């Protein structure tokens, strides 16, 4: 029995007809190695933004059900065009929507989660030696309505199909040659990483790395599915392998520097310092499926305190409406918002065994007079909120401070450094 590989192509990879033809040729080459192929595609580059712009011209608050139906059209166009291109060069193929591939989601429009995949039809098509080209990013709920998985959801479609169909691996093709120590557009000497652990990639994806969607990595880690990120624009792309940590190898102290300008901060001032107040604020946000990132509560003064938290800029309007309502109910004094922030983060599995990483980060930022507004940490990550105007400077400074242009695992941390 032949093996199965899932290939996912991003919007740039299918951005025009010539690139779609190149993708078709790559798929044929893969087929000739003796494996079956299921392909998942994104909308052509810029298509989703065009559709959203049309929506904004009509309504500032459209029904999410209608937005889902509209946005799903972009991936359907890509899948049909690629299937036509494959057929044209003698490779039998079938394009399928989320509904046709059997991808069932919950009912949360614009950010649905996958519940199950019925693989019966896909397995029959593969048995007939056809390539399946799936419109990513979409599924249907139990009512039969079209749902979408959120921006970057085609990655999630691909790995979910890989797990459901028992694929050997999942290959994510994009316009970059893998995962880098920093954005090469900001740091010219950024280095491509040959291998990244699931845990590191989860942190990177959650911190603004655009190369992969976090839910995609979660699927891979849970099911131990090897994931390869490589460029569709270069035939000799070696890419980056995302997999389990190798316990026999020393891990880099810092593997990468990430930044996320898609952040907003909300501050509630003069909050009564009483049990249950914070719960009322964040429960109300959670009930509307709004995810909060960092949270800071100041020391209480005269029975009142300030609470600040960050979240995605796209959720700011909805969050402010909720927070202002709760603030009035709890008799808080004021609600402020700030869209001019950026989260800068360092990630590395080696932080577990090397003290002094956070202090080195703070020192590097301090030398450039970059003020830190908020801090959060995990076992393998340190994040700071700073003014967005210093974002690129901070990335370059930290990349140099940890010597990420070289493959050294020590990253400039001395054994005598103090733990943060």
How far apart CA 217 and CA 204 sit, in angstroms, is 10
Q: What is the CATH number of the domain that holds 68?
A: 3.40.1160.10
Residue 411: what pLDDT?
46
Average confidence score pLDDT of the chain: 92
Q: What is the pLDDT of residues 398-411, one digit of tens each?
A: 999 999 988 754 44
Residue at 78 is within a domain: yes
170-174, 241-245, 330-334, 349-353: least confidently modelled range: 349-353
pLDDT band at 326 (very low <50, low <70, confident <90, very high): very high
Is the confidence at residue 415, as pLDDT, over 80? no
User: Does residue 397 contact residue 346 with C-beta atoms inside 8 Å?
Assistant: no
Q: What angle do CA 199, 214, 81 make, to 5 degrees?
A: 135
Q: Can you say whether the dihedral through the CA atoms of 216, 217, 218, 219 is positive or negative?
A: positive
CB within 8 Å of 57: residues ≥ 6 apart? none
Could you tell me the residue range of the domain that residue 338 belongs to? 248-420
How far apart CA 216 and CA 29 sit, in angstroms, is 25
Q: H/E/C letters for each residue in 289-343? A: CCCEEEEEECCCECCEEEEEEEEEHHHHHHHHHHHHHHHHHHCCCEEEEECCEEE
Residue at 216 is within a domain: no
If asked whether residues 166 and 252 sit together in one domain, one would say no
Boundary residue ending a domain (175, 206, 234): 175
Residue at 202 is within a domain: no
Average pLDDT over residues 313-331: 94
What are the counts of helices (DSSP H) followed by strands (DSSP E) for the chain?
12, 22
Packing angle between helix 64-88 and helix 17-31, nearest 10 degrees?
60
Q: What is the pLDDT of residues 183-224, one digit of tens each?
A: 999 999 999 999 999 999 999 988 877 788 888 999 899 999
Residue at 127 is within a domain: yes
Residue at 309 is within a domain: yes
Residue 416: what pLDDT?
37
Boundary residue ending a domain (175, 193, 222): 175
The pairing of strands 263-272 and 334-338 is antiparallel
If asked whether residues 15 and 146 sit together in one domain, one would say yes
Is the confidence at residue 113, as pLDDT, over 70? yes
CB within 8 Å of 128: residues ≥ 6 apart? 92
pTM beyond 0.85: the answer is no
Residue 250: what pLDDT?
66
């Amino acid at each position: 029995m032949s093996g199965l590989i899932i290939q996912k192509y991003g919007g740039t990879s299918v951005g025009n007809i010539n690139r779609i033809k190149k993708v078709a040729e790559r798929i044929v080459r893969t087929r000739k190695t003796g494996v079956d192929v299921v392909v998942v595609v994104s909308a052509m580059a810029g298509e989703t933004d065009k559709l959203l712009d049309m929506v904004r011209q009509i309504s500032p608050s459209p029904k999410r059900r209608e937005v889902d139906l509209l946005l799903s059209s972009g991936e359907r166009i890509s899948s049909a065009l690629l299937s036509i291109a494959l057929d044209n060069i003698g490779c039998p193929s079938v394009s399928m929507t989320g509904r046709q591939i059997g991808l069932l989601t919950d009912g949360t429009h614009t950010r649905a989660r996958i519940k199950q995949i019925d693989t019966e039809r896909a397995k029959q098509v593969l048995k007939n030696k056809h390539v399946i080209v799936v419109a990513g990013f979409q599924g249907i709920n139990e009512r039969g309505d079209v749902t979408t998985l959120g921006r970057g959801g085609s990655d999630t479609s691909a790995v979910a199909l890989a797990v459901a169909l028992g694929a050997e691996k999942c290959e994510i093709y994009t316009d970059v040659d893998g995962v880098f120590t920093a954005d090469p557009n900001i740091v010219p000497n950024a280095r491509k990483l040959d291998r990244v652990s699931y845990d590191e990639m989860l942190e990177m994806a959650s911190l603004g790395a655009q190369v992969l969607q976090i839910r995609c990595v979660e699927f891979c880690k849970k099911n131990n599915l090897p994931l390869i990120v490589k460029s569709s624009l270069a035939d000799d792309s070696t890419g980056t392998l995302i997999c389990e940590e190798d316990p026999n190898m020393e891990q880099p102290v810092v593997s990468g520097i990430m930044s996320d300008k898609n952040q907003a901060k909300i501050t509630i001032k003069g909050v009564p310092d009483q049990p249950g107040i914070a719960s009322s604020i964040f429960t109300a946000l959670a009930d509307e499926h709004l995810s909060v990132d960092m949270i800071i509560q100041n020391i209480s003064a005269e029975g009142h305190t300030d609470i600040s938290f960050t979240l995605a800029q796209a959720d700011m309007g909805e969050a402010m409406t909720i927070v202002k309502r709760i603030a009035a109910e709890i008799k808080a004094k004021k609600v402020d918002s700030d869209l001019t922030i950026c989260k800068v983060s360092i990630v590395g599995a080696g932080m577990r065994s090397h003290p002094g990483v956070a202090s080195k980060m703070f020192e590097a930022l301090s030398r450039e007079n970059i003020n830190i507004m908020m801090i959060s940490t995990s076992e393998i990550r340190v994040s700071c909120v700073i003014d967005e105007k210093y974002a690129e400077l901070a990335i370059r400074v930290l990349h140099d401070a940890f010597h990420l242009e070289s493959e050294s695992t020590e990253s400039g941390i001395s054994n005598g450094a103090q733990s943060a």
